[in-house]
Chain A
């Protein structure tokens, strides 16, 4: 065995480091983490492969997010909610029901309302364009360095830092590299963090509709045999639609004209919103689950889809990513305040412990939930009708269900409770 000193002395001296943290990926999670770290005085550079104008369009493109109360707390703690609130629609109630197209819904309808959750609305619907624009604005006003249109070509971990090479630019050093680069994360690959996952043979059709009657802040989730249909309240008389079908059926529907598309959508949720029309574009996303076995490697941590891309059944993808952001920001902030090396293994291990189990659970839960509901087997249907009836009958169970859906379960990081770092 070689003496540990031999290895240490052979390393080049490249200090002081350029930044405390390098974030690969300037999506919603990457930028939010950068802002959180900046609020704790941790220097951060975000490197994103896309040119800045690619993701920023002022026109509504039909994409929106169901932000949990916990996610909203974090945006508030980071000083972004005040401006964003004008563009957010509170979700006051979520109605969940088991309905098959062309049939009346089953007698058990699960309802979650404000009274089930003591901390205000269950969440907020926010359009993608608004969230992105506000994040970009906040980053611009912060100390975060955002380098758009640049490609990371390599990463090397040393005993005291990590070096990242960027195409056409000098290499960068930092204490920690964060992979916020999505489900095909190159950061994860280069760190040797292996993935697992499966394909559902389903696709989600996503669009926004304008409707005649008000939605009263109520979100609906119908569990159909082919997959769930969610109707989520947007500002004014508009709603976001997430509609899941067998892959080929979804593709066929997606290929239809707007008019034919609407004629298929209409009977699926009845006429309670009156006449409907498309607002923005239509999207189709193949559903698959992709998760890494671990969220950390030496001086590397993964957040969001890079660690766990889940089936978007309950709108938990971004919320789950925001939980990663809040947890990682907190352990790094605490490490800085106790004077330790930000990339020390004990710190990243704390993050893994905090988020690893939750993520594994979410992947499993989301998956079984979908398998249970996306099925026309009469026995399974009986079980889920009974299950939803029981949830309605047991207020405690239901409150737990809502709290989990709102991201407030477990031991939440400070930011998710709306407190600063």
Chain B
């Protein structure tokens, strides 16, 4: 029913187009994402290996799995998934990201199918995946329920959906908006709209409404002393991630 309706907010897409070329500059604007990336990947790889019974110490552990990364940007998640042996489709609503991601994958000797397409359009084309990665996207879409429904449609029964976003509370306002955008200048001002942030309970509710079964939620916590991110079972106050499955 939501198939024809695009949930992409045009103003949000334009913002990322201007940043596209800087995706792989580790000291550039995306430095905070590169710093968070090991932590995100640890969670993603652990969830996939548990769900599909794969051994991460084996060669090409994700061989045979078809993985979609929505909002793939410069390919920060697609490339690792491809290195682990998965067949990867990277989708981004911002056209400018696609050539950057394609070029970098080619330079890295990786085969990744990058497409300028929305989740809804992919669902409409009946594309099916074992895993859908939905990282830091849901807070940017116009209609989270419609968008998450499209994500569910893209999964095979028994498939895994990993979704991360930002919590909505005074602390996340302080850290994600004031801290990251205004004080540290980690992200350009206006990258995030705090009102679009979703609490973990709200997200679990939305996932269930979309027909997914919430399985796990964890926090990504930035330690200012160690100056690095780690996964936390307790602290979901700012950045957090969820795993849900599509019932068979």
A59 adjacent to chain B (CB < 8 Å) = no
A340 and B21 within 8 A (CB): no
**Alpha-carbon distance between A350 and B35 when the two chains are bound, in angstroms:** 10
For A294-321 the 0/1 string (1 means CB < 8 A from B) is 0000000000000000000000000000
Whether A16 lies near B45 (C-beta < 8 A) is: no
- For the complex, count residues of A whose C-beta is within 8 A of B: 28
Instruction: Name which of A1-9, A111-119, A219-227, A402-410 contacts chain B.
Output: A1-9
Contact pick for A338, options B41, B59, B106, CB 8 Å: B41
Cβ of A346 and Cβ of B38 under 8 Å apart?
A: yes
DSSP class of B's interface residues: helix, strand, loop or mixed? helix
In the bound assembly, the distance between CA atoms of A11 and B108 in angstroms comes to 12
Partner of B83, one of A4, A339, A345: A339
Q: In the bound complex, how far is the Cα of B105 from the Cα of A339, in angstroms?
A: 13
Interface string of B73-113 (1 = CB under 8 A from A): 00000011111100000000000000110011011110000
Q: Which A8-57 residues sit within 8 Å CB-CB of chain B?
A: 8-9, 11, 13, 15-17, 40-41
Q: A15-B108, A15-B109 are in contact. Are A339 and B103 (CB under 8 A)?
A: no
A190 to chain B, nearest CB (A): 22
Beta-carbon contact of A341 and B45 below 8 Å: no
Q: How large is the interface on B (under 10, 10 to 19, 20 to 34, 35 or more residues)?
A: 20 to 34
Bound complex: CA of A40 vs CA of B226, how far in Å? Answer: 26
- Indicate whether A160 reaches chain B with its CB closer than 8 angstroms: yes
Check A346–B34 contact: CB distance below 8 A.
yes
A159 at the interface (CB under 8 A from B): yes
CA distance A421 to B56 in the complex (A): 12
B84 / chain A contacts, CB cutoff of 8 Å: 339
Residue contact B37 to A339, C-beta cutoff 8 Å? no
Q: Within residues 15 to 50 of chain B, which ones have a CB less than 8 A from any CB in chain A? A: 21-22, 24-27, 34-35, 37-38, 41-42, 45
Considering only residues 324-356 of chain A, those with a C-beta below 8 Å from chain B are 334-335, 337-341, 344-347, 350, 353
Whether B107 pairs with A344 at a CB distance below 8 angstroms is: no
List residues 155-169 of chain A with CB under 8 A from any CB of chain B: 159-160
Chain A residues with CB under 8 A of B228 = 350, 353
Report whether B107 and A160 are in contact in the complex, using a CB–CB cutoff of 8 Å: yes
Q: Is the CB of A5 within 8 A of B100?
A: yes
Instruction: Check if B35 sits within 8 Å of A346, measured CB to CB.
Output: yes
Q: Are A337 and B57 in contact, CB atoms less than 8 angstroms apart?
A: yes
- Give the residues in chain B near A160, CB-CB below 8 Å: 107-109
Q: A41-B57, A41-B59, A160-B108 are in contact. Are A339 and B25 (CB under 8 A)?
A: no
How far, in whole Å, are A346 and B38 apart by their CA atoms in the complex? Answer: 8
Of all chain A residues, the one with the shortest Cβ separation from B45 is A338
Interface on chain A toward B: helix, strand, loop, or mixed SS? loop
Contact call A340/B57, Cβ cutoff below 8 A: no
Contact between chains at A4 and B21 (CB < 8 Å): yes
A345 and B30 alpha carbons, distance in the complex (Å): 13
C-alpha spacing A338/B42, complex, angstroms: 6
Given the complex of chains A and B, what is the CA–CA distance between A57 and B226 in angstroms? 45
Residue on B nearest A14 in the bound complex, by CB? B109
- Quick one: CB contact mask for A350-367 with B, threshold 8 Å, 1 for yes? 100100000000000000
Which residues of the partner chain B approach A40 to less than 8 Å between Cβ atoms?
A: 57
Chain A proximity of B229: nearest CB distance (Å):
10
**Is B45's CB under 8 angstroms from A339's CB?**
yes
Q: Are the CB atoms of A339 and B79 closer together than 8 Å?
A: yes
The distance in angstroms between the C-alpha atoms of A223 and B107, with both chains bound, is: 58
Report how far A304 CA is from B59 CA in the complex, Å: 29
Would you call B103 and A345 a contact (CB within 8 A)?
Answer: no
Could you list some 16 contacts between A and B, CB below 8 A? A4-B21, A4-B24, A5-B100, A5-B103, A8-B103, A13-B107, A41-B57, A159-B24, A338-B41, A339-B45, A340-B37, A340-B83, A344-B26, A346-B26, A346-B35, A346-B37
Which residues of chain B have a CB within 8 Å of any CB of chain A?
21-22, 24-27, 34-35, 37-38, 41-42, 45, 56-57, 59, 79-84, 99-100, 103-104, 106-109, 226-228
7 closest residue pairs by CB, A with B? A339-B80, A15-B109, A338-B41, A339-B83, A339-B84, A337-B56, A345-B26
Given A4-B24, A340-B79, 13 further pairs, Cβ under 8 A: A8-B103, A159-B24, A159-B107, A160-B107, A337-B45, A338-B38, A339-B79, A339-B80, A339-B83, A340-B83, A341-B79, A346-B38, A353-B227
